[in-house]
Amino acid sequence: MGVFADRLVQDLARAGFVLGTQRRYFRDVRTMMVYFRRPPRRLTQDDLRRYIAMLEGKGVGPSRVQQQMAAIKFFFCKTAAQPEKVAWMSFPTPPARLPIVLTQDQVKALLDALDLLVLRIIVMVLYATGLRISEACALKTTDIDSERMVIRVVGKGDKERLAILSPVLLGVLRTYWAAERPALPYLFTNKLSKLGRPISPEKVEKAVQLARQAAGLEAKVTPHTLRHSFATHLHESGTELHIIQHLLGHTSIGTTTRYAQVSTRMLRDVESPLDSIVVPPPSE
């Protein structure tokens, strides 16, 4: 990528993308450039069309194709200043899928399977607060407000919001702090780094995968699954959607309503029409 590498890093940071998105965009653009082994000015619309068709032909899912197209479009529109080469791009609409939600027993099994203390506490934070993995890894010690019992979160687009700090989580964090003494300013740091850098989301994602296997969970589990589970369990316990919307940092309530779709609270209150015509067998 040459000189474009530094420019892309700067442009992604200026665009306000979270660190995880910046890394993914950079990785996807670099993969494309390695594939072509030609400078951007020598690539044509037809080259890019063939590249996307190649991804689809290899069985890459609609969501992943959309992510890679977004990265390529950003690169040519912003960094390479050649928007005409990607003007044809329209993102495929991924099929609607209900989020995977763990039961509380499954969450506990996942936590028990995490041996390293810092990783177990991060996953506990994800389930206790509904934070995104990038938000949790970037937490600083000053973000924990024990007097107001809230956590200050910097989310997408540098937007700030407050997350709940439960008494149980506060106690867990205090125990963790006394045992680990992470290097300031971050709450969760990589011990192998002497610069006090925060632990990477990729390390947490890998740990969750290993813990899922160790716990014998068959469902696909990622750090984001804990966010889904947090929202759904709150709704099942009676928390209103607009409150969940604020806690998750959703701009639109429409994004939050999907958790109502997987909540069993409303379903339990609905009577099946079968129940009005069939007499249940007597219990023994």
Is 206 assigned a catalytic role? no
Place of tokens 């993969």: 31
Is 132 assigned a catalytic role? yes
**Residue tagged active-site, from 24, 64, 224, 258:** 224
Question: Rounded to the nearest 5°, which phi and psi values hold at 198?
Answer: -70, 155
Q: How many residues does the chain have?
A: 284
Is 235 assigned a catalytic role? no
Percent helix, strand, coil in the chain (nearest 5)? 60, 5, 35
Give SS3 for 140: strand
**Residue tagged active-site, from 73, 227, 228, 233:** 227
Indicate the pairing of strand 160-164 with strand 144-145: unpaired
Determine the Cα–Cα distance for residues 57 and 166; give it in Å rounded to an integer. 48
- One-letter amino acid at 197 equals R
**Residue tagged active-site, from 78, 156, 203, 258:** 156
Task: Give the dihedral of Cα atoms 121, 208, 200, 64; nearest 10 deg.
Answer: -140
Determine the Cα–Cα distance for residues 194 and 186; give it in Å rounded to an integer. 13
Is 51 assigned a catalytic role? no
Is 224 assigned a catalytic role? yes
**Residue tagged active-site, from 73, 85, 120, 132:** 132
**Whose CA is closest to 223, among 235, 234, 214, 210?**
210
Is 233 assigned a catalytic role? no
Catalytic residue annotation: 132, 156, 224, 227, 250, 259
